[in-house]
Amino acid sequence: MRNAIHNKGMSNTLQEKKEISKKLKERAINEGFTISGIASIPGSSRLNLRTNALNRWLSNNLHGEMKWMEAERRKNIGSLLEGAKSVLSVGFTYINSQNHNKNKIFKVGKFGQGEDYHKVIHKKLKNIGRWINQEIPDCRWKICVDTSPLLEKAWAEESGLGWIGKNSNLINKIHGSWFTLGFMILTKDLVPDKPHKSLCGKCDKCIEHCPTEAIVEPFVIQSNRCIAYHTIESRKKTIPKKIKENLNGWVAGCDICQDICPWNKSVPFNDTFETSPKEWIKNLNNDSLSWDDKTWEKKLQGSTLRRIKPWMWRRNIKANLRNQ
């Protein structure tokens, strides 16, 4: 009799965990995220594999000037919040029916054409945090967007949001790879989702179509060969000749390896004000070279692309013009 009561108590506890886990993921979708999932900390053995892959990438200096990737805390999610037990992973779709780059003089990566996704995701996650404070008052939480030292794509994969593709982007069966990630580290033990399996199969289109051969092997990007890296991250005064010859209009980011991906052929749009392209981006042309720093700062207000300094915009635009 005593064992029966004990088992019943365990069952109730498990049922409660399932219910609150389900409610949390539903709350994320209601808040405007496209996908949501949960992972347990420390996660499965694949997290160790991803950490080892990161170490190899760093030791081979494939991260270029991105020194923040070397942060040791990135390898230990527990260091970001004491008592961490679970992770809520969410994806925010940024592809909009208007943000195409066909027949444009200058091209901007789709992720950066709308509002600053860091702020959009943070605001939505904060709303979820307020909900947690009411529904799970004994749970502490910490928000992480891509400025936090976290193995983001690995934890998103662990949470079942998708798989890390050969182009190193996270891919979802329905939504492709057109989404940015957000996370909430939680001190509550929740029911995890199944980690996603890779569905790239034998497809190598992203590798074959990269004009600068930046995907040096499946899942491995050599930053100093990547157009997105050179137009967004690199602080060098000039763009290398090999990159310049293959810019083909790209002045902020590059979508080639995503545009060619079969999983991105037909995905749902997220036509909200948050993802709608800013007017100045839609009309970017040669006249932009005459903008002074104050004009650039004004244009870039509220944009993810503020990371690209005014002098870098001019560098990127000139590099395209000289190659015409």
Active site amino acids: 146
3-state helix, strand, coil in the chain (%, to 5): 45, 15, 45
DSSP calls for 7-63: HHHHHHHHHHHHHHHHHHHHHHHHTT-SEEEEEESS--HHHHHHHHHHHHHHHTTTT
Tokens 């090999």 identify what position?
Answer: 242
Tokens 């909430």 identify what position?
Answer: 184
Instruction: Locate the DSSP E strands across the chain.
Output: 35-40, 86-93, 107-108, 141-144, 163-164, 170-171, 179-186, 215-217, 220-221, 250-252
Q: What stretch of H or E contains 125?
A: helix 117-135
> Where does 149-274 have alpha helices with state H?
152-158, 205-209, 227-228, 241-244, 256-259
For residues 41 and 24, what is the distance between their CA atoms, to the nearest angstrom? 17
Crossing angle of helices 2-30/117-135, nearest 10°? 150
φ, ψ of residue 311 to 5 degrees: the values are -65, -30
